[in-house]
Amino acid sequence: MRTMKLGTSTLEVPVVAVGCMRIQSLNKAEAERFVQTALEEGANFFDHADIYGGGACEEIFAEAIHMNDDVREKVILQSKCGIRKGMFDFSKEHILEAVNGSLKRLKTDYLDVLLLHRPDALVEPEEVAEAFDILESSGKVRYFGVSNQKPMQIELLKRWVQQPIVANQLQLSITNATMISNGINVNMENDAAVDRDGSVLDYCRLHDITIQPWAPFQYGFFEGVFLGNDKFPELNQKIDEIAKKYDVSNTTIAIAWLLRHPAKMQPVIGTMNIQRLRDCCKASDIYLTREEWYEIYRAAGNVLP
């Protein structure tokens, strides 16, 4: 698996992250096999959140990987906090409590990365800064990031937080690529020109913040996958054509499309299927041409100005 630096951190991470939101759907033997396969593929970066399965996903992962000190040294663990039932909560008290809960469930003393999960309208950056300082000084969290935040929200946070923001987890796929299309359609009078995120793609590149695309196979907001979907015949035809050329699956090409972008993103895959996991990891070795990247972009219904 090819690796990259995560933001401005010293972490050398695989270019594909393994999301564990659905690990609760596996039985014990299946979970063990899935995690072991990921490690064999070099995909040792595991993404969690305290709300996944109400915390059960972190527990299942720790059991599946047989967490101990030796295992811990071989993996990179990221978790997220801030989503509560009916609200978002970036209070100092909740952040500290959430991290302690994740550490207990994951059977570890520290997280490599902690992300704030979704923007909290009532955020008080001073409290976040206090929480981050406590977590860093105690050794419980090494690096910090955000999820689904736009530039000005990150700037507000940075006004008080001393630690660098190393990652921003954002929804992005071939069919959900508004952060790319608005940069192509600058000054145009069409829907694609609408800037819905404050030019977050360019902002993250300028500030060395790694974008972690989530739901890389989804269209809409978890409406379904676009691969093999009759709603996207032209896109699937083009992806299949390119997949045949490289002798890989359509899954591989969908991830390779994200990895081809010079922003050096780290897609977070959510599959629990071992073959699809392997196919995702193969994308590390595929470098699409400029022509192929744009062909896929246009086949998804995006029109160049």
Instruction: Give me the domains of the chain, ranges plus CATH numbers.
Output: 3-299 (3.20.20.100)
pLDDT at 183: 95
pLDDT at residue number 223? 87
pLDDT of residue 20: 98
Long-range (24+ apart) CB contacts under 8 A made by 220-228 are 220/175, 220/176, 221/171, 226/173, 226/174, 226/175, 226/254, 226/300, 227/251, 227/254
| β-pair type (218-219, 224-225) | antiparallel
* pLDDT score, position 222: 81
Q: What is the pLDDT of residue 53?
A: 97
The segments of the chain whose pLDDT lies below 50 read none
pLDDT in tens, 104-142: 999 999 999 999 999 999 999 999 999 999 999 999 999
Distance CA(173)–CA(297), nearest Å, equals: 10
Answer yes or no: are the C-beta atoms of 181 and 194 closer than 8 Å. no
The 3-class SS string of 148-205 reads CCCHHHHHHHHCCCCCCEEEEEEECCCCCCHHHHHHHCCCCCCHHHCCCCCCHHHHHH
Q: Which residue has the tokens 């069919």?
A: 175
